[in-house]
Amino acid sequence: MTSSNSKNIQEIPTNQESGRQYLPWIIGLLVLLLLLVLACATSIGGTLIRFHSGTNNDKMTVEIPIIEGGSASTSPTIQQVMSILQTIPGIQRAEIVDGDRLLSLLKPWVGQIDLLRDLQLPALIDIDLDPAVPLDIAAVTQQLREISAGIRIEPHARWHQMLVSLGQAIKSLSYVIIGFIICSIFVVISLITKSSLSTNREIIDVLRLMGARNSYLAKQFQIQAFKTCFQGGIIGIVFALPIIYFLSWFAGYLGIPEIFKNMITPEIVVIFVCLPFIVSVLSMVVSRLTVLRTLRRMDR
């Protein structure tokens, strides 16, 4: 079509269709879920990375659940354990973790450590291992349990592997959920576009008789899809921000701020800014492909 004739053709009134006004809210809900998954996964993943970077595989912890009385340094059980540990090859250093240090380690996860002061916490012994000397942890555990049956040994390498596996699982799960949400947005756009084509079939037939090309008709729908998804993206961001701040505040209120610490990272801010444009552009492409494919089938 020529440009002069294009100006005289009325655009397809897709924005006047029944229920069209609810579509931005549907897209906004999907974008909201997408942003929440991204923020939570980034926050939890960041927490695991901080622990991963602070983990030393050449360390282990001995946990003694019961102290007969007094401080950890004067407990007979702990003194016997220390005596044995100091004679084992492969152990470079063994140090009793005092109560204040133990509470400081629990503070990022518990928050209100005053509640723990009245509880009977296990005694911990921090151990540095010699990487050049192999250590049979099972044999050491069996030897220590002759003193107290409840003694446990936790190698830091085991926690390191658990954190790595957990981080990978969270990352994979978040990618799957994000993929489902993005596919849902595209499916909604495709279905709405097909429904709009069917509703405006007579108008489309008239425009095609007047010389309108498929690309021109697709442009009308893709512009509407871009506007709708951009509005939905803004709605999703507007609702996502207070929810994310509430989650961060509520985690701190419960005394576990480390879980949702730093949910608003620079990476998340960039995603918040770019996501409406990315979703809108991709939805515009989906709408255009849907229109062109449907019109080609009508030509057959």
Q: What is the DSSP code (8-state) at residue 17? A: S
In angstroms, how far apart are the furthest CA atoms of the chain? 98
Task: Output the pLDDT for position 10.
Answer: 44
Chain mean position to CA 224: 31
Using the predicted structure, report yes or no on whether residue 63 has a pLDDT greater than 70: yes
Out of 1.10.1740, 3.30.70, 3.40.50, 1.10.3470, which CATH number does the structure's domain 66-150 have? 3.30.70
Using the predicted structure, report yes or no on whether residue 271 has a pLDDT greater than 60: yes
Length of the chain measured in residues: 300
Using the predicted structure, report yes or no on whether residue 235 has a pLDDT greater than 90: yes
User: Residue type for 92, please?
Assistant: Q
Using the predicted structure, report yes or no on whether residue 139 has a pLDDT greater than 90: no
- Full-model pTM: 0.68
What's the pLDDT band for 30 if we cut at 50, 70, 90? very high
Task: Output the pLDDT for position 9.
Answer: 40
What's the pLDDT band for 8 if we cut at 50, 70, 90? very low
Residues 14-29, mean pLDDT to the nearest whole number: 79
Residues 35-62, mean pLDDT to the nearest whole number: 72
> What is the side-by-side order of every strand in the sheet holding 91-97?
91-97, 123-129, 59-64, 152-155
Using the predicted structure, report yes or no on whether residue 129 has a pLDDT greater than 50: yes
What's the pLDDT band for 100 if we cut at 50, 70, 90? low
C-beta atoms surrounding 14 within 10 Å: 23
Task: Output the pLDDT for position 33.
Answer: 92
- Domains of the chain, by residue range, sit at 18-53+161-299, 66-150
| CA atoms of 28 and 269, how far apart (whole Å) | 17
Q: Report the 3 state secondary structure along 91-155.
A: EEEEEEECHHHHHHHHHHHHCCHHHHCCCCCCEEEEEEECCCCCCCHHHHHHHHCCCCCCCEEEE
